[in-house]
A and B are shown apart, each in its own frame.
Chain A
């Protein structure tokens, strides 16, 4: 399968990453190599096989609908951001 320059740019956009022209070249080449490698799964016959998404023997676990004590306080969490004002996190304009 051919991966074009615009495909690489689209993937970068989906990933919220901006690539320099050099990165489009270098990472683009790497991605083509990786996709070529993982495409060998084509050869494996998986007809009538159900997918596995997790290997934990998952069962639904119920708990009481109560508010549990949290490990970090609101103040501790707000202290982690670079820009805080009036108990809110400041970011540049949205629009």
Chain B
């Protein structure tokens, strides 16, 4: 990363990033630009450097913040109407860590409201356009962050990945995107979607940048009881980066996956073989149930997490309600997007008496099978290489009225979240039409650092 040094000032980097953000305004990437504060912070860093003081590892590096990270800079709305007007008094742990190293947030990025979606079309602020084709979606839910990095506006951007929300937009825009091991990075101060699968991660341009960001942001946090004890950067002696066994999932090689994506996977396998790695075919039959299990477990947690939005304490409050009950109903009916409503209602359906055993409990058992399938797979191989999504970026509007078609976008990404294992989306060429193709490398829990190192073998 272009760390601020004598050859370029932080102020210049930040001003350039802000100029580029404005230049690409019609892509609808940002929900807020942090002009005044960003320039002020850049000047402070330049002054420190001029005085010869020590600066952080990300000093002067401009970045974009997904709109579901809490910080006092700009309104945190998760691109949802119901959070309109909410300026957070607290700062997310991950944001505090980035800022402590001198990174400078230049803007908040657009997303599917509450991260519900795979295209950024479910945003209250309208869709973000794909960096490579303006008629196509950015992917989602972290669409704005992916495009901000792909268009070279910022050096990196934050994202959240509950079922593919970092990896799929990364692959749609041709950048790196990581979904770390569950519990690697603190979720404190990030708008909750589904607490048992939510992960904080990044978009970046190179594996080395990604490694640096993970080093900075990872670690146990007393404010998030689900963070793991610090492990990032520890070498795993049982993993050899130079002669690895790479698993390929047989079931994913079928006609429902775009041929150009399957070909890109084959090309990368040949490359790995030529470098002395071994390709292993895996049978993971429970994975075909991962999407159904995901769209039971996650809506259940969504229904619970979103019950707090009632218009009373913060955000949008519906006018003209006669009593408290109608205040709740009016605020939620006017404040949520249709996809938010679908997920809340599905969640209440799978949790309601009479359906709990057949849906929620069944899905929780399916989750066990998926976890075990990954454990077994990692006895047979070191990493798994799969497509991120069945197709490259699709046209705006193509799937927005067909929720099941939109959910199928996540068919190859959600199982990682259910199992808590890390995945790194990497650029893997382009289609004939010029759209980026992404693949994901998957590893066992806590293998994040090795995954990133190993991704260099695929360049």
Q: What would 18 A/B residue contacts be, using CB atoms closer than 8 Å?
A: A11-B345, A19-B333, A27-B345, A30-B403, A31-B349, A33-B402, A37-B404, A38-B292, A40-B292, A50-B368, A71-B90, A80-B313, A91-B312, A92-B322, A92-B326, A93-B323, A94-B323, A94-B324
Contact bitstring B90-117, A, C-beta under 8 A = 1, else 0: 1100000000000000000000000000
Q: Which one of A27, A37, A54, A81 lies within 8 Å of B342 (CB-CB)?
A: A27
| Any B CB within 8 A of the CB of A67 | no
Which residue of chain B has its CB nearest to the CB of A90? Answer: B312
From known contacts A44-B289, A55-B371, A94-B323, infer whether A16 and B329 are also in contact, taking CB-CB under 8 Å.
yes
Would you call the interface of chain A mostly helix, strand, loop, or mixed?
loop
**B241 interface residue (CB < 8 Å to A):** no
Q: How far is the CB of B377 from chain A (nearest CB, A)?
A: 15
Task: Among B336, B366, B419, point to the contact of A46 (Cβ < 8 A).
Answer: B366
Q: Count chain A residues whose beta carbon lies closer than 8 angstroms to a beta carbon of B.
A: 54
When chains A and B are docked, how far (Å) is the Cα of A52 from the Cα of B323?
41
| Contact with B345, one of A15, A58, A91 (Cβ below 8 angstroms) | A15
Instruction: Please tell me if the beta carbons of B364 and A51 are within 8 angstroms of each other in the complex.
Output: yes
Quick check: which of B6-14, B52-60, B128-136, B355-363 contacts chain A, the rest being far away?
Answer: B355-363
Smallest distance from the beta carbon of B417 to chain A beta carbons, Å? 9
Q: Do residues B362 and A17 form an inter-chain contact, with CB atoms below 8 A?
A: no
* CB-nearest residue of chain A to B297: A53
Q: A15-B303, A34-B404 are in contact. Are A55 and B196 (CB under 8 A)?
A: yes
- Bound CA–CA A42/B367 (angstroms): 14
Residues of B256-294 contacting chain A, CB below 8 A: 286, 289, 292-293
Closest chain-B Cβ to A10's Cβ sits at a distance in Å of 8
Quick one: CB contact mask for B314-343 with A, threshold 8 Å, 1 for yes?
A: 110100011110111110110010100110
- Partner among B293, B322, B329, B403 whose Cβ is within 8 Å of the Cβ of A41: B293
B356, chain A: closest CB distance, angstroms: 11
Contacts A33-B404, A38-B359, A92-B322 known; A52 to B89 CB distance under 8 Å?
no
B332–A16 CB distance below 8 A: yes
CB-nearest residue of chain A to B188? A71
Chain A hits for B295, CB < 8 A: 34, 37-38
In the A-B complex, the 3 residue pairs with the smallest Cβ-Cβ separation, listed nearest first, are A55-B420, A51-B364, A46-B365
Alpha-carbon gap, A61 to B226, bound state (A)? 10
A52 to B375: give the CA distance in the assembly, Å: 14
Q: Is the CB of A77 within 8 A of B89?
A: yes
In the bound complex, residues from chain A placing their C-beta under 8 Å from that of B366 are: 41, 44, 46
A93 CA / B332 CA spacing, docked (Å) = 18
Judge whether B292 and A41 touch: CB under 8 Å: yes
Q: Which of B329, B364, B369, B407 contacts A44, CB < 8 Å?
A: B369
State in angstroms the CA–CA spacing of A17 and B313 once bound together: 18
Residue in chain A with minimal CB distance to B183: A56
Given A18-B333, A81-B313, A89-B312, decide whether A71 and B89 contact each other with a Cβ distance below 8 A: yes
A76 within 8 A of B: yes
Cβ-defined contact, A50 with B226, below 8 A: no
Q: Which residues of B contact A17 (CB under 8 A)?
A: 329, 332-333, 336, 341, 344-345
Would A15 and B367 count as touching, CB distance under 8 A? Answer: no
CA distance A55 to B313 in the complex (A): 32
Tally of contacts, chain A with chain B, CB under 8 A: 164
Question: Is the Cβ of B289 less than 8 Å from the Cβ of A41?
Answer: yes
Pick the residue among A19, A34, A72, A83 that contacts B403 (CB under 8 A). Answer: A34
Residues of B within 8 A of A57 (CB): 228
Which chain A residues lie closer than 8 Å to B182 at the CB level? 55-56
Further pairs besides A18-B333, A53-B196, A80-B87: 14, Cβ < 8 Å: A17-B332, A17-B336, A19-B341, A27-B342, A30-B403, A34-B295, A34-B342, A34-B346, A41-B359, A41-B362, A52-B371, A61-B225, A81-B312, A92-B322
Question: Quick check: is B120 within 8 A (CB to CB) of the other chain?
Answer: no
User: With contacts A15-B303, A18-B329, A38-B296 known, is A92 near B345, CB below 8 A?
Assistant: no
Is A4 on the interface with B (CB-CB < 8 A)? no
Residues of B within 8 A of A49 (CB): 365, 368-369
B312 lies within 8 A of A92 (CB): no
Instruction: Take A19-B333, A37-B292 as given contacts and tell me if A53 and B89 are in contact as well, using a CB distance cutoff of 8 Å.
Output: no
- Asked whether A92 lies within 8 Å of B323 as measured between CB atoms, the reply is yes
CB closest residue in chain A, given B420? A55
Q: How far is the CA of A18 from the CA of B329 in the complex (A)?
A: 6
In the complex, A50→B368 CA distance in Å? 7
The residue of chain B having its C-beta at the shortest distance from the C-beta of A60 within the complex is: B225
Q: Kindly state whether residue B86 has any CB partner on chain A within 8 Å.
A: yes
Task: Name B56-104 residues within 8 Å CB distance of A.
Answer: 86-87, 89-91
Pick the residue among A14, A72, A82 that contacts B348 (CB under 8 A): A14
- For B345, list chain A residues within 8 Å (CB): 8, 11-12, 14-15, 17, 27, 31
Distance A71 CA – B12 CA, assembled complex (angstroms): 33
Q: Which of A12, A27, A38, A72 contacts B338 (CB 8 A)?
A: A27
Q: How far is the CA of A55 from the CA of B293 in the complex (A)?
A: 15
B86 touches A80 (CB 8 A): yes
B365 surroundings in chain A (CB, below 8 A): 46, 49-52
